[in-house]
Amino acid sequence: MQINLILLAAGKGQRYQASTSGQVGCATIKQLADIGGKPMIVDRVEKLKPLLINPDINNIYVTLGANKNVIKAVLPQDISVIDSQHWSQGMGHSLAESVQSIKAQSSHVLIALADQAMISTEHYQNLLSASKKQPNKIIATLCDEQLMAPAIFPEKYFPLLIKLQGNKGAGLLLKSHALQTDAIACTTAKFDINTLADLEQIRQQLDHSKQENNLHQNTPSHCQNLEPV
């Protein structure tokens, strides 16, 4: 297997910007929102980096579009960046461009979203483990009975990913191929950051989880394996 990781972070985050009225500069850029004392995009990269010890993982790619130069400046220098030329047309275009650019060196792609700020390294690892056992199947996240990213797609689905357009991301493909998909449950996948209020809620939940972990080192993970759907 040759798995490449794509972290989608190309959008402008208009709803987030609208919710930050009165603030200026980087404070209005969603990808740079502070999570645990670091930009959200950096936190996501740090959650993905431990996967690189797996010999089946080739590389981490971050797809940028809006505010790409400002965001690129905070990324670790060893992270590869895909410049989305059509990011303003929606996530589907950015995802299609990303898969197109790395398909030649990939047997699978793991698609992750930068604003899913509560996805753990453990969950990404669970997805990879499931993909090794079922390399010909899509491995997706299941939350509130809905298939969603992060998800792993085998090479045979690349032509469909490359055809995605507009605001429809991988979720549309997951819905239409549910019978070819295995699912890993993750209750925190539903939390993404679209507004400043979302950010504050996630900060509170992360702080609460940190306090609980300090008190109960053996607390079960939020994410667990499920039977195939």
* Closest to 28 in 3D by CA, of 62, 66, 76, 75: 66
User: Where does the pLDDT of residue 229 fall: very low under 50, low under 70, confident under 90, or very high at 90 and above?
Assistant: very low
Cα–Cα distance measured from residue 226 to residue 116, given in angstroms and rounded to the nearest whole number: 20
* Closest to 142 in 3D by CA, of 163, 161, 123, 121: 123
Cα–Cα distance measured from residue 65 to residue 71, given in angstroms and rounded to the nearest whole number: 9
Which residue stretches of 134-191 are H helix? 158-162, 170-176
Flag whether pLDDT at 174 surpasses 90: yes
Flag whether pLDDT at 189 surpasses 70: yes
User: Where does the pLDDT of residue 53 fall: very low under 50, low under 70, confident under 90, or very high at 90 and above?
Assistant: very high
* 70-99 confidence digits (pLDDT tens): 999 999 999 999 999 999 998 999 999 999
User: Where does the pLDDT of residue 14 fall: very low under 50, low under 70, confident under 90, or very high at 90 and above?
Assistant: confident
3-225 under CATH 3.30.365.10, yes or no: no
Contact of 223 with 213, CB cutoff 8 Å: no
Packing angle of the helix pair 121-133, 40-48 (nearest 10 deg):
40
* 92-144 confidence digits (pLDDT tens): 999 999 999 999 999 999 999 999 999 999 999 999 999 999 999 999 999 99
How large is the average pLDDT for residues 159-167?
A: 91
Flag whether pLDDT at 219 surpasses 60: no
Flag whether pLDDT at 221 surpasses 60: no
Contact of 181 with 172, CB cutoff 8 Å: no
Cα–Cα distance measured from residue 110 to residue 71, given in angstroms and rounded to the nearest whole number: 21
Flag whether pLDDT at 208 surpasses 90: no
Q: Which helix (H) or strand (E) holds 215?
A: helix 196-215
User: Where does the pLDDT of residue 167 fall: very low under 50, low under 70, confident under 90, or very high at 90 and above?
Assistant: confident
* 37-50 confidence digits (pLDDT tens): 899 999 999 999 99
**pLDDT of res. 55:** 93
In the chain, domain spans: 3-225
* Closest to 164 in 3D by CA, of 195, 44, 79, 153: 153
* Closest to 192 in 3D by CA, of 106, 128, 117: 117
∠ at Cα 90 (88, 8), nearest 5°? 100
**pLDDT of res. 171:** 86
Sign, Cα dihedral of 107, 7, 178, 167: negative
**pLDDT of res. 213:** 66
How large is the average pLDDT for residues 27-31?
A: 86
| Percent of the chain's residues with pLDDT above 70 | 89
Tokens representing 74? 């905070």
User: What does residue 106 show for φ and ψ, rounded to 5 degrees?
Assistant: -130, 135
